[in-house]
Amino acid sequence: MKHLYIIGIGSGNPEHMTVQAINALNKVDVVFVPSKGEAKAKLADVRKDICTRYINAVGVKIIDYAVSSRDTFERSYTQSVDAWHAGIASTYEHLLIESIPDSGTAAFLVWGDPGLYDSTIRIIERVKQRGHVAFDYSVIPGITSIQALTASHRIPLNLVGKSVQITTGRRLAESFPGLADSAVVMLDGEQAFAKINDPDAYIYWGAYVGTSDEILIAGRLADVSNEIIATRAAARARHGWIMDIYLLRKGHDFEE
């Protein structure tokens, strides 16, 4: 039967690759690399660099494929994601049928960890449920952008004995500072931190974390909010795209 590895490659630094990830990469016949648009091209370069550095096995084929973007026209968020995933499932199905030899193996290289704000696993499950191609798959964990962020800022993720909320910009206001004293925010295109009005909140922000373009800013939210907005806008204009993440925190270790 065909076998697929869904490999977490870490968050931009090729040295995030684990030994398990490198070993899996050296078992495959084919590596699928998504490429489309300016950001995707840069991310595809990171994936190709990983292949060049770590694949020692001979004859491994690298296959580029185009990923469609989400169409939000006259649809709810859930409907548009569902339709988008259905389209990607068709692309994956085609790749699995056409590009993996019988009893062969292939890899998808997933940014960060495949379990965190990534839908590769659920889309591959969709392909399996459709039943047009027989295959099995394994998931190899990777270093998330959360780990990259806390390591770069040299901070623990949680306060002693306290919980952490992981959320998106769209949902930040629901949890911080009401429910969570630490909140990690990903996928924030609207700088939701700017709407948090709390004199005790701290922010640890990072863009392109773990890469040679990394930018870090930390401080009391009220003091650094405008600096982050300006830095983010300038970096986005310079690169043509941005990936950023932040941890908002209120309170201190050993406080009840």
Ligand X SMILES: C[S@@+](CC[C@H](N)C(=O)[O-])C[C@H]1O[C@@H](n2cnc3c(N)ncnc32)[C@H](O)[C@@H]1O
The alpha helices in 3-153, defined as continuous H runs, are: 19-25, 37-54, 77-99, 120-130, 145-153
- Least gap, CB of 14 to ligand X (angstroms): 12
- Sequence-separated (6 or more) residues with CB below 8 Å from residue 95: 32, 63, 65, 106
- Least gap, CB of 102 to ligand X (angstroms): 31
Per CB under 6 A, residues contacting ligand X are 11-12, 111-113, 116-118, 144-145, 148, 186-187, 206-211, 243-245
- Least gap, CB of 228 to ligand X (angstroms): 13
Nearer to ligand X, 142 or 177 (CB): 142
* Residue 18 to residues 9, 39, 48, Cα–Cα distance (Å): 8, 24, 16
- Least gap, CB of 103 to ligand X (angstroms): 30
Residues 139, 6: contact at Cβ < 8 Å?
Answer: yes
Nearer to ligand X, 90 or 213 (CB): 213
Nearer to ligand X, 65 or 118 (CB): 118
- Sequence-separated (6 or more) residues with CB below 8 Å from residue 251: 159, 162, 181, 200
Nearer to ligand X, 99 or 231 (CB): 231
Nearer to ligand X, 121 or 159 (CB): 121
Alpha carbon 103 to its chain's center? 30
- Least gap, CB of 148 to ligand X (angstroms): 6
Residue number, nearest CB to ligand X = 112
How would DSSP label each residue in 134-199? Answer: -EEEEEE----HHHHHHHHHT--SS-TT---EEEEGGGHHHHTTTT-SEEEEES-SS-GGGG---T
- Least gap, CB of 252 to ligand X (angstroms): 25
Q: In what order do the strands lie in the sheet with 105-110?
A: 61-65, 30-34, 105-110, 2-8, 135-140
Nearer to ligand X, 29 or 188 (CB): 188
Instruction: Give the span between the Cα atoms of 246 and 185, in whole angstroms.
Output: 5
